[in-house]
Structure formats: C-alpha cells, structure tokens
Amino acid sequence: MVKENIPTAANFIAAIISADINASKNDGRVLTRFPPEPNGYLHIGHAKSICLNFGLAKDFGGLCNLRFDDTNPTKEEQEYIDAIMEDVRWLGFDWEDRLYFASDYFEKFYEFAVFLIRKGKAYVDSLSADEIREYRGTLTEPGKESPYRNRSIEESLELFERMKNGEFPDGSHVLRAKINMASGNLNLRDPVMYRILHASHHRTRDRWCIYPMYDFAHGQSDSIEGITHSICTLEFEDHRPLYDWFIEELELAAHPQQIEFARLNLSYTIMSKRKLVRLVADGHVKSWDDPRMPTISGLRRRGYTPESIRDFCDRIGVAKKESTVDMALLEHCLREDLNLRARRVMAVLKPLKVVLENYPEGSVEHLDAVNNPEDAGAGTRKVPFSRVLYIEQDDFMEDPPKKFYRLAPGREVRLRYGYFITCMRVVRDEESGEIVELRCTYDPETRGGNAPDGRKVKATLHWVSAEHSVKAEVRLYSHLFKKENPAAVEEGGDFTANINPHSLEILHNCRVEPGLAEVLPETIFQFERLGYFCADRYDCIAGRLVFNRSVTLRDTWAKILKKG
Ligand code: ATP
Ligand code: MG
C-alpha cells in the first residue's frame, strides 16, 4: 500500500488504522471482517457494521472477510446464512472467496483447549450451571473458587476428552479458563470455554457434542484469519481483556487489535435479534422481510435502496458513545436518493370520480408528462386524458376551511399536465349520502396547465383517466412502534405493548397510470404529491399490482392540521 494514498481519517477508527499503517504495523496490511451469528436476519444496525468493516478495508486498500460466528447450534439455521449473504451482497459489498465459518475451526479450538489444560490454564469443572452462577460473585463481591479448580491436569485432560466423546449428559461438566475468581472484571472469573451440548450443528452435523463458547471462539477466529483490526460494538469492551488473555496464553502469533464503537440505535425501532425473532414468531409482522421490519431485507422490500442505506451509515458516523438516531434521518436519506432517480407517475390512492361535462364523450388525448424534473435524461411520457377521471378524495372538500386550496364547489384548480377544471356539482349516493362523483367543467384553453388570460389557480391535483388507469393494491406503512423508544415499558411489561396497531393500512382500489401495468417487482416510483412507492418484491406479479409506500413526501397540509 502506498502511504501517500492514505485517506484522511473519517472517524476515530480510521485514524487508528491510518496511524497503524504509518507505523508499518502488520506490515501496513488491513484485514477486517464482518462476523454475524446466523441466528436471525441482518438489521440496519448490522448495516452500520458492514459499511464500517468493508468500507474501512476499501478505504485503506485492505480486505474484509465474511465470517459466520456459528458456535450455538440450537439457534442457528441455514436460512439465516443464506439471507445474510444475500443482504451483504445487496448492500454492495463483496467478500470474494473469503467466506469463513467459526465451525471450520472447531478442530483447532479443541486443540487450543487441550493446550491450555496442559499448561494448567484450564480445567474441567463439574459444578452445575446454577452453582457456577452462584460461585461467580457479583460486581461488588469476589467470586468463589470451584472445588474442582485444582483438579490435576491429567484428570481434566481425561474428562475433557470424555466430554468430547459423548460420555456425559448436557450440563454435567464444562471446561473453564483458570484466570482469577476475584477479578474486578466478571469476564475473567474463570469463564466457561466449552459446554456439552448434544445438538446437531447446521454444518458439522453430529460430529461434536461439545461446543466452544462465543468468547472462546471469536478472538481465536480473528487470529486464525490474520484479522488486523477486530471492530466490534461497545458491549465487548469488557471482553477484550479475556480475548487478549486467550491469545497470549495460547501463544498465537497473530494478535488482532480490537476496537469498540457505539452500536446504532434508531428511534421507533428495536434491534435486538431476540425481540425481532419474537415479532416474527408471534405474528406481529408477516415475516423477517416485512416492510415494517428494521431488517435489511425488510427495508429492501419497503423500497430502500443500497445507496440510501450506505449514505445513512456514512452520515451517522462512528462514535464511542451510545446515542439514538432519529428515524427521520433514515427516511431523509431515502428521499434524497429517490428524488434524483425515481420516475414520477400519477396514482390515485382513494379515488373520487370526476366527470367533465363539457368534454366530448369517447374522446381521448395523450398529454405530455415529465418523468423526472431532476433528470432531464429521463424524458417524457404520454398520459391519457378523458371525460371521466379519478382524483384523490382528500383533494376535495365540500365545505373547505380557510387554508384548503384544493377542489371545492365552484372552485377552479389545475389538473397536472392537463387542464383547469371547475367543480359545478356534487353527486351523492341516495342511500348513504356519501359523495360519489363530482360534475365539473374543463377549460379547453388551458391545455398543458396555463390560462391564456393569465388567471391563476391555487392548487394542482394529480389524477388518472378512469377508463385507462389500472387497478392496484397499495400498502401504507408507518412506524411499527408507537413509542420512540419501544423498549421503554412499565415494570413487568413487554415491548410488544408498544406495537402500533395501525402500522399497516391496505388500500385495495387504487388506480395508477396505464404505463405501470407491466411494472417489474422492486421498481420504485414517486407517486406525485404522495410519496415514493415500490412494487412489492414478491406480491407484485403480472395482472396484480402491489405497491409499498416507502416514504411519504412532506405534507404541508398535515403540518397545518397538526398546528390546529
Ligand atoms: P446477538 O445478540 O445475537 O449477538 P448481535 O446484534 O450482536 O446479536 P451479531 O450477529 O453478533 O448480532 O452481529 C454481527 C456484528 O454486527 C457484530 O460485530 C456486532 O457488533 C454488529 N452489530 C450488531 N448490532 C449492531 C448495531 N445495532 N449497530 C452496529 N453494529 C451492530
Ligand atoms: Mg453478537
């Protein structure tokens, strides 16, 4: 790596790496890794870690591995592995041929364990799990040594081998590191290294019935792979002395440097996998990739782009201090990205029929509409206009309050790319009294949206032609939780109490421009005046249009309403 090309440090971790390169540490090499445990789908917090690990490697001319820390066979599944790989790729990162599994190192870990027993640095303990917990002490009280702690090396070696051979039931013995039961750091009070677990592993099948603890696997995996900078979240700060202890006692040559950063917390969102699993298992959402989920696959299905997520991760930066990022920032990043790229179209979510009484029956015009005002190259398209149209129910009020400028009886407004129309009469359903139709007139002189006499209108409405438009289902999503911090619950309460019962509203009778009839899944549009909408990845198929609202546009009327 050429030193002149080292980028200026974007954050404190980049500064550390930069200094390491300057000092020729690790021969100037940079190798990071993203180490998920395959026990759930990746979420936006993981995206931060992915962008950081792959991003730093790229910035410093290094590489980043993908490694599954798969040490817990009871919670891990192939489905999660597949989903994780798909999500990392979709985000735009590539581990090339550097795909690793901690389970690939099980043999090595076993040898490491034997090495520590031989050295007198590990022993088989035969206390029960409850007893071990009891003996562990607390933050204010030192722990107590197990009566098995001074068992002979030979006895521990023999028991450990018999543990491996499947001679003992789960929970009857564990292997522990012999460090210090009085340490102020609880992680150093003879932590468990191995436990007996008669469970089949998704990769090693029934080869093992003892499994290493995460803390005995993680640091060694990094060392085996020659990771230079092990970047992880703050909760591992207290584990660092233990990881260092293992690597030193194992006399391993490669000693990765662990650097901790604050995890991402996002308002109106939970990030704990344990809780996300529950949302899916208990049916609060439909699946891991439900567009309300903070998972990468959920965000994708909602209409988030890899670019917007990477931009978000860039903007939130990296710090040493916990904080909560406002969900509005994530939404902002999506709007910024889509504003430049998304094609504008017209769609009416809650249709109200408009009949133009003076428009010739049976006649159709094809009006020019701009595809994207932010991108001249996107060109224009033709939109059919005819005597019977749909506008949005919300764009009409029979008795409008002061600041409502849209359509009302006797009032003139502009139809986007079309004509000025004036509302002459309201037609009601005889039984329900509901407004079912507006009878209007149009001014043929205003084609394209301007009056030759210079008269102005205060509102421009979107619309579709009744006969030409296509039916669509639209799913309106809002926050999955009512509270900014969903984890904050009354004593004895559960986070599910904070679930927003109105996070999904499905509209079945929406109408969209005919040009959308053949839309491909995952195409994102701006529905003019409404927001950005994404053709659902799975449910939008030929003959059945389904759109997810990704994010709204800012609605000034809603703000006025709010202010009361
Ligand atoms: P678990 O409780 O299952 O360990 P986890 O969220 O830590 O959950 P991992 O699969 O271990 O999940 O995480 C993989 C990597 O992503 C780790 O390096 C972890 O530090 C990082 N990570 C997890 N959550 C966040 C978050 N909210 N912000 C930033 N990084 C995160
Ligand atoms: Mg973890």
139-158 tens-digit pLDDT: 999 999 999 999 999 999 99
For a pLDDT cut of 70, what percent of the chain falls above it? 97
Nearest CA to ligand 1 atom 15: 36
- Name which of 103, 158, 139, 76 is nearest 175 in CA terms: 158
Q: How far is the CA of 479 from the centre of ligand 2 (A)?
A: 26
Which of 64, 233, 270, 271 should be mutated for ligand 1, with most atoms under 8 A from CB? Answer: 233
Residue 398 has pLDDT above 60, yes or no: yes
Residue 339 has pLDDT above 50, yes or no: yes
Residue 538 has pLDDT above 90, yes or no: yes
pLDDT at 76: 86
Average pLDDT over residues 474-488: 96
Q: What is the C-alpha separation between 183 and 459, in angstroms, rounded?
A: 71
Residue 384 has pLDDT above 90, yes or no: yes
Q: How far is the CA of 346 from the centre of ligand 1 (A)?
A: 41
Clarify whether 108 is annotated catalytic: no
* Catalytically annotated residue among 25, 263, 275, 439: 263
Average pLDDT over residues 397-406: 96
Nearest CA to ligand 1 atom 4: 37
| Cα-based distances in Å from 140 to 132, 143, 182, 184, 240 | 17, 10, 10, 8, 21
Classify residue 492 as exposed, middle or buried by CB count within 10 Å of its CB (0-12, 13-18, 19+). exposed
- Name which of 9, 11, 7, 8 is nearest 315 in CA terms: 11
Clarify whether 118 is annotated catalytic: no
Clarify whether 522 is annotated catalytic: no
Q: What is the C-alpha separation between 380 and 367, in angstroms, rounded?
A: 10
Q: What is the C-alpha separation between 77 and 201, in angstroms, rounded?
A: 9
Give the tens place of pLDDT for each residue, 170-205. Answer: 999 999 999 999 999 999 999 999 999 999 999 999
Q: How far is the CA of 49 from the centre of ligand 2 (A)?
A: 11
* Catalytically annotated residue among 33, 164, 178, 273: 273
Mean pLDDT estimate for the chain: 95
pLDDT at 10: 85
pLDDT at 542: 87
Q: What is the C-alpha separation between 20 and 28, in angstroms, rounded?
A: 7
Tokens describing residue 99: 């795909």
pLDDT at 2: 40
Q: Which atom of ligand 1 is nearest to the CA of 264?
A: 28
* pLDDT band, very low/low/confident/very high, at 3 (cuts 50, 70, 90): very low
Average pLDDT over residues 474-501: 95
